[in-house]
Structure 1
Amino acid sequence: MIFSFFNICSAEDVKVEFLLFKNENDKTYDLNIVFPDGLYEYYTNKNHRILEASDFSSFVTPYIFEPVADKIWELYDNEEDFVNGVLMIVHQIDYEETEPIKYPIETMVEGKGDCDLFSLIAASVVKAGGLDVVLLYYEQQAHMNIGVNLSSKPQDAREDVCYVTYENTQYYMAECTGGNWMEGWRIGECPPNLKDVSVEVISLDKVEQGVPGQASASFSSLESSTLVLEITPQICLQNTDITIRGILSPSFGNQNVTIYASVNNSPWIEIDKVITNENGFFQLLWNNEFTGIVSFRASWPGNNEYASSLSTTKTTTVVPIIAIMLFGSILLGIIGISIALVLKKSQNEEIQPEYW
């Protein structure tokens, strides 16, 4: 099958690099993180409003960092080392007081941030790694870090272990600021100015859901990939089929491509997964029950050689069936009235008397 509508261009992925250290073999690893073209822009265009402290949790984005967490787990075999690995990452980002609040991908790409932004990154990756994590907010000190529940007490803390108790669970403190990434704060350690002060625990109840894409992560450099998407028709009726098709480049077969939809700017939802053929093509026939402006994006998670990719957004306008029925009724009414007027006029002409 040949698709002539595709216009393949090189993706402009965003790449960042961090160092991780493993004590067991005294070795340093380069962790390459690649955000697919369009994902950074997606977050810069999102709402950045904070009305209350609990709103910070809506800026925690674990889904896009799942591949990053998976790579960190490849290095470390226990929860404490995993969290300390995450802290190594945020300790390498330049500290600069930043307003307004930003999403983790924005901070990573821009390469600077402050305590709350670093905490949002750390919470995102730790939660993506499957651990129970909360944000710790110190209002009087205008500071934030995170708390992580571990299955056992931290062993590598260089001082008395600090934790907070929230809903009968111990969360060990993890300080996210500090420039010395190899010898920086470890989980369980507490900066002196935060000891015995009031802290608000922010659970991650508002953590972001529905994201059209993920980062890629590797201990080697990743090549770019491209995902092109096309939607037909561009205007259709409710409960009719929409054809979603596209192509992955390089042309890998048997690859999972995830299709997302957003209705009238609502949060993105996953609607299906499709498999590419040997030429990288994929197609989905989707019966649409929504109405209004429906947007679509496709995402490929990448592999050990190529970074993940995210298509541009494509939209279609879906007209509700009731609108067509209403329009049809109005049209029939107009036609009926027109016919009645014509007939009445004809009858009047027939009975008009003639004068000689």
Structure 2
Amino acid sequence: MERAKKTLTITLLVLTVLLITSYLPTPCQAETYNVAYQLLDQPNGSTHYRLNVAIPQSLYEYYQSQSHRLNTDDDFAKFVTPHALEPIAENLWQIYTDDEDFANGVLMIVHQIPYMETLPVKYPVETMVENEGDCDLFSYIAASILKAGGLDVVLLYYKNEAHMNIGVRLSHQPYDARGWAYYVMYKNVKYYVAECTGGNWQIGWRVGECPDDLKQALKTVQVIGLENGEQVSPGQVSASYQTLTASSISLTISPMFLIQGGTVTISGQLSPQLQNETVVIYIQENNSPWTILQTLTTDSEGRFACVWNVKTTGMCYVRASWSGNEEYAGADSSIYAITIVSMLFVLLLAIVIVVVCIGVVIALMTRQKQPQIPEPSPPEIPS
């Protein structure tokens, strides 16, 4: 009987441990990637600026999980992400008053990223975090910042030369181009060539200048408009000429174990306690890519909350992210795991427990009904 009780106790303990471990958050702390770029007030200028950029890990992983497939040449445009890099453009307009100077400032940024032939194609946030890329990756960054800054820009694809740069529409002919200003015509608009490769950001290519080996290729270059570019991103980088102060974001999930069709309350708080800030809730269902569950706004104490009606089953991971601002770097919460089971699983689990209990009871009853066989007495030895 004692052995049967021990078996039942161990079985129930194992089931309890399995359920409890489902409540534990994934031991994954968030990281913020920091990069910095040097700028001049104008080509050959003497005033230097240092632009600090912070990229939340969630934004980097979001773009990593997006499709990188190119079906046609027009798909190059989907790698242009203006909204994600908009804070960089806003900071550039603080020091530039002319669209040509703005465009040359953008070229200074991409000219500082080390050149490395890279496959597959990557989004601008990925390239900035990994701090390496080639002509097309630099072109996506430059086009994203220029478009975010309000300039009209196109991608220039030199198929035979396996090269890419960009074309920029300006309000005037480039004043700072050293020599003839090269351009292409597209839909009756003049777009000046902007070469995005080059290792020396202070004396690198300027808007209107064209490498010698591409001058003839301009006659047959393929111009790709940005109509298929990304319109809105889930988050943004943060950028400032000052050192960005670290921020943090907490997250609470309740419950962390539930039956399919149930609801989960997601809440948290931003530090610093800023009002009307956008917080993005990301989810990852099983092994699927990260997707946006909901976009929330903080209250006067920096708090946010939402209720999620869960339709899926399996393991689901949840995180919250804030993009930051000109004073604070963005932040991600820790990643929490939620276990969602189907009703069928619950029924099967209940059946298993019942069967185990019945088996133990039967074993106990069988043992009690067994006839007691008296032990034989030792034979008497005649005296």
Under a length normalisation based on structure 2, what TM-score does the superposition of the two structures give? 0.71
* Cα distance in 2, alignment partners of residues 268 and 41 from structure 1: 10
* Cα distance in 2, alignment partners of residues 29 and 274 from structure 1: 33
Distance of aligned partners of 1:44 and 1:172 in 2 relative to their CA distance in 1, 3 Å threshold: same
1:18 lines up with 2:18 in the alignment: no
RMSD between aligned residues: 3.4
1:192 aligned partner, one-letter code: D
| Cα drift, residue 285 of structure 1 | 4.9
Distance of aligned partners of 1:123 and 1:116 in 2 relative to their CA distance in 1, 3 Å threshold: same
What is the match of residue 71 of structure 1? Answer: 91
What is the match of residue 85 of structure 1? Answer: 105
What is the match of residue 69 of structure 2? Answer: 49
Greater displacement, 296-305 / 173-182 = 296-305
The secondary structure found in structure 1 opposite 2:236 is coil
| Cα drift, residue 310 of structure 1 | 3.3
Query: Which protein has the bigger helix share?
Result: 2
Under a length normalisation based on structure 1, what TM-score does the superposition of the two structures give? 0.76
Distance of aligned partners of 1:229 and 1:23 in 2 relative to their CA distance in 1, 3 Å threshold: same
What is the match of residue 215 of structure 1? Answer: 237
What is the match of residue 208 of structure 2? Answer: 188
Of residues 169, 182, 186, the one that matches 1:162 is 182
| Cα drift, residue 14 of structure 1 | 0.6
What is the match of residue 303 of structure 1? Answer: 325
Of residues 125, 129, 145, the one that matches 1:125 is 145
Distance of aligned partners of 1:313 and 1:149 in 2 relative to their CA distance in 1, 3 Å threshold: farther
1:247 aligned partner, one-letter code: Q
2:183 aligned partner, one-letter code: Y
2:41 aligned partner, one-letter code: K
1:258 lines up with 2:279 in the alignment: yes
Identity %: 48
* Cα distance in 1, alignment partners of residues 101 and 277 from structure 2: 32
Q: Deviations over 1:215-253 (max 9, x none)?
A: 111112212222233344565777x8753311113x424
CA contact (8 A) 1:72 1:82 kept: yes
Q: Deviations over 1:75-122 (max 9, x none)?
A: 101211111100000111111222221221222222221111111111
Q: Deviations over 1:45-83 (max 9, x none)?
A: 333222322121121122211111111111101211111
Q: Deviations over 1:184-241 (max 9, x none)?
A: 1111111111113211111223323553321111112212222233344565777x87
Q: Deviations over 1:270-323 (max 9, x none)?
A: 844322333x3322357x6x9547876543232333201234566879999xx9
What is the match of residue 300 of structure 2? Answer: 277
Distance of aligned partners of 1:79 and 1:242 in 2 relative to their CA distance in 1, 3 Å threshold: farther
The secondary structure found in structure 2 opposite 1:68 is helix
The secondary structure found in structure 2 opposite 1:224 is coil
Distance of aligned partners of 1:111 and 1:237 in 2 relative to their CA distance in 1, 3 Å threshold: closer
Q: Deviations over 1:20-66 (max 9, x none)?
A: 00139721111111111332233333332223221211211222111
What is the match of residue 230 of structure 1? Answer: 252
**Unmatched 5+ residue regions in structure 2?**
1-23, 345-383
CA contact (8 A) 1:262 1:269 kept: yes
The secondary structure found in structure 1 opposite 2:57 is coil
| Cα drift, residue 141 of structure 1 | 0.7
Distance of aligned partners of 1:108 and 1:273 in 2 relative to their CA distance in 1, 3 Å threshold: same
The secondary structure found in structure 2 opposite 1:38 is helix
CA contact (8 A) 1:95 1:114 kept: yes
The secondary structure found in structure 1 opposite 2:249 is strand
**Which of 1 and 2 has higher RCO (CA within 8 Å, sep 6+)?**
2
What is the match of residue 243 of structure 1? Answer: 265
The secondary structure found in structure 1 opposite 2:246 is coil
The secondary structure found in structure 1 opposite 2:125 is helix
**Unmatched 5+ residue regions in structure 1?**
325-356
Specify the structure having the higher radius of gyration (Cα).
2
Distance of aligned partners of 1:74 and 1:263 in 2 relative to their CA distance in 1, 3 Å threshold: same
1:126 aligned partner, one-letter code: L
Distance of aligned partners of 1:208 and 1:310 in 2 relative to their CA distance in 1, 3 Å threshold: farther
